[in-house]
Amino acid sequence: MMRTFHIERPDQNRRTAIQEKIDNLNKPKGSLGMLEEIAMQICLIQQTLSPTLSHPCHLLLGGDHGIEREGVSVSPRDVTWQQMINFTHGGGGVNMFCRQHGFHLRIVDVGVDYDLSRVPGIIDRKIARGTRNFLHEPAMTDEQFNRALSVGIDLVDDCHAEGCNILSIGEMGIANTSPSSIWMSLFCHLPLDECIGAGAGLNDAGIQHKRAVLQQAVEKAHTVTGNALACIQYFGGFEMVAAIGAMLRAAELRMIILVDGFIMTACALAAIQLEPAVRDYMIFTHYGDESGHRRMLDSLGVHPLLSLGLRLGEGTGALCAYPIVDSAVRMINEMNNFQNANITKYF
């Protein structure tokens, strides 16, 4: 049985006072656009008129996928462990952006098909050396699902204990666009064809093959496709379920969650299926280059902060968006109001 989460929607009673503070900053009403929306959301999460961002943390979760054996990705699974080691040397995009924006990076092996237990800098939380091939059987057992969920929960608890109140999550897992596409199709009620893209760089023939494999997998798993929890377990990756656990626990602790591109949006979508209130704690940061991502964001009714054409993963879009979130907090805390600035309120 899945752990029970107690996620409360932010109390809306402060909304009027927050809006009055935003509207009385010395600027035309609404002139700072999405910054005002972000400030409102964070103030509601923290239940304050003076929000803070403290000790930002980034979880980089690694795992391999059995479906990769079906040739649905242009990259071989060896790239997963090779990149995980590269991250420990500080050479990845995620490392650069974490350094730039002051994030504490945790690199976590949740299910990589390689022995990384002796690699300094990698937290060993391996459940198995990759999931099973969901073309033929469920990707994970009940016990493995709950372990993966607990990995995310425990990591967030560690971050929170250090004073973190804003979290971003990234992934490293060859072929994880495949379960993401299936979740998108099932949870957004869209044809699977509209949810499948090139991943790390498939050509047209490769995309057609991927579509055929995933369609066959969904048809074989028809008995579970009406149950969100069963779908997450049947198709998901260990790193993806850990991300879901992290999101749910972060919301339970009233932390801000920065959601990255296609795969992390799919994880957010899955988390919302399990606990709808988690949505209130999420800031969607980036519209990625994967086919279908815009449709998924539209189905959630959200507008991401950035559209940079990124498709690296690793949570890089969320990290790039952090300064915008910081600007929203600085706006409401540091801008003067009309009265103190001796400016006539002109609206």
- For the annotated catalytic residues, the residue numbers are 314
Distance (Å, whole) CA 141 – CA 256: 30
The token pair at 219 is: 């048809």
DSSP state of 286: B
Q: In DSSP terms, which residues pair with 256 in a beta bridge?
A: 166
Helix 228-235 with 262-274: angle, nearest 10 deg:
140
What is the spatial distance between Cα 291 and Cα 211, in angstroms, rounded to a whole number? 13
> Rounded CA gap, 261 and 281, in Å?
17
Question: What does the DSSP assignment read for 146-198?
Answer: HHHHHHHHHHHHHHHHTT--EEEEEEE-TTTHHHHHHHHHHHHT--GGGG---
Strand 122-124: give its sheet, edge to edge: 122-124, 104-111, 57-63, 166-172, 256-259, 282-284
Helices 228-235 and 238-252 cross at an angle (nearest 10°) of 140
The DSSP result for 30-59, as a single string, is TTTHHHHHHHHHHHHHHTSSS----S-EEE
